Chains A and B, each alone.
Chain A
């Protein structure tokens, strides 16, 4: 505030004579401001224009979408209706919500105790466990997919469903464990010791003390896992491709393009409908992040 007042005073000509050196410096700062913000606007256009083009195309008629026009004429809002009326589209939504929602809950519940143990317990093999968690995190899913597919499809007869993707999430997810562990490291041990003095066991300490303090970390992990499941293409391709009733949006979207191969307008409308929830969730969660970080006073 004081600084702002100083600047005000400096720009106020009645405050006193301005030396030429000051004037040069101020002009340089202004030019710098303009250059930086012009670059910022250019970069913003690069990042945003693709979204704008997709959205505008999604409102064109099928004929117009094949032209070089950029502005829809007339606006065909009914494209979105048509996408929802496509057989299967609502099922894909339902499946995606089940995969992403249930998967996220299972991941958080199973990963939190592991992350807590890795962050706060001292035991032999802790370092090794952490190394293995990181290795699992970096492992491309295709490396183990053959035996995993044979396990789920041939032994448990679960191909054509999303369960081979959801069930493993009940056994900890390496990335979530790692991220939560990094977050739990920032919680001072004094809080845990105080809880133990009060007679809490480790489980009670985790639930009553750590859980409320780790909320921003848990929100971040939940968000990442939700997006992972929402975006996953390889998993549904392996396990669900034979059964369209089990497809997710990410997998179905590509076949949507196949079925409407010249209707770019409908394909873009479907694309917007797949992108929109992720972006909406982000806008809500962004606020939750900031609030969580400021409320708990834990540096995230």
Chain B
């Protein structure tokens, strides 16, 4: 009896030992597979984030060692830095107008492409193409197309007897011009909406038709409820992209103001009249033009908080939203 229990515990001990060894092996294997990202996370995310927070409380120009400065940078950015509030207002404008224009237009093009029966592939490629245009090239192109004097768009508007705005050279028209550029590159949303629209169950449309629903009613009561998670996904990712909006407004401002490009050239940030300023441009302006790293880090943190707030919104119903957007 005693020997039997003895062998039993021995065996279970040995089994537990192999189990522990197996688990350790599995953990090591997981760590090995995850290692590129684990290193990347620490070096390129966690460390610089903590560092940014630290610098935001110091006075630092990159040469003299950082000096602790309390909340001075924070009050400078919010109270004295003349570009901060215009940039935030521009971002709000772009979130409201540009994001909604892109979503509405993207949905419209998605609806259109699912109804086109002849030459679908050609249409789809043509609609998608502008999304691929490199931002600097596309922006340069639009500054040319919309140049007030001789640009083709204003020539056409003039022929038709319509007003010919100054677009990228006029503070009231520069953001609408950027919106036109963003709507031109709506191909990404078209693809997402197209996939979602094709996923709406056919039976629901048939049932609605039997009930005598009009086209608008079918859209309102069948299509929209089915694709609402995707619309939500498009809105939230659109807002996050707007927080990062950098290349197009910067290049548009630089080119339209006529400054020489390249390094070292100063130009009036947000030309014309601060109307194309966005938060990321302030990080560049403070950090790399004024060498005020501390204040640049304050703006960086504002950007971080805004971006993460909307990311959290996206992840709250992760199963629905994130998966919907693949």
Contact = CB atoms under 8 A, between A and B. Distances in A.
A139 B134 contact: no
Interface stretch (A1-9, A15-23, A36-44): A36-44
A245 interface: no
Interface string B256-283: 0011111111000000000000011001
Contacts of B184: 46-47, 50
A278 B322 contact: no
Contact of B36 (A114, A254, A282): A114
A278 B132 contact: yes
A83 to B, nearest CB: 13
A267 B140 contact: yes
Interface of A: 33, 36-37, 39-40, 43-44, 46-48, 50-51, 53-54, 57, 66-68, 70, 110-111, 113-114, 116-118, 121, 123, 129, 131-136, 138-151, 154, 168, 170-172, 177, 179, 182, 202, 227, 230-231, 233-234, 237-238, 241-242, 244, 249-251, 253-259, 261, 264, 267-268, 271, 274-275, 278-279, 282, 286
B127 A47 contact: yes
A107 to B, nearest CB: 10
B137 A275 contact: yes
Given A146-B283, A253-B137, A39 B49 contact: no
A168 B40 contact: yes
A117 B300 CA distance: 32
B144 A140 contact: no
Residues of B contacting A: mostly = helix
Interface string B95-133: 000000000000001001101111000010111011011
Contact of A136 (B34, B36, B41, B280): B41
Contacts of A171: 36-37, 39-40, 43-44
Given A36-B116, A146-B297, A244-B262, A135 B308 contact: yes
Given A142-B300, A241-B263, A154 B255 contact: no
Contact of A114 (B33, B134, B308, B311): B33
Interface of B: 26-27, 29-30, 32-34, 36-37, 39-41, 43-45, 47-49, 51-52, 55, 62, 109, 112-113, 115-118, 123, 125-127, 129-130, 132-138, 140-142, 144-145, 150, 152, 155, 184, 240, 243-244, 246-247, 250-251, 254-255, 258-265, 279-280, 283-284, 287-288, 293, 296-297, 300-301, 303-304, 307-308, 310-311, 314-315, 322-323, 326
Given A129-B34, A138-B240, A143-B283, 9 more contacts: A110-B37, A136-B45, A142-B244, A142-B284, A146-B51, A171-B40, A234-B280, A241-B262, A253-B137
A142 B47 contact: no
9 contacts: A33-B118, A40-B113, A117-B33, A121-B26, A129-B37, A132-B41, A143-B304, A233-B250, A258-B260
Contacts of B27: 123
B224 to A, nearest CB: 20
Contacts of A57: 144
Given A139-B45, A146-B283, A172 B40 contact: yes
A214 B133 CA distance: 27
A142 B34 contact: no
A43 B109 contact: yes
A144 B300 contact: yes
Given A68-B150, A114-B36, A123-B27, A255 B246 contact: no
B134 A168 contact: no
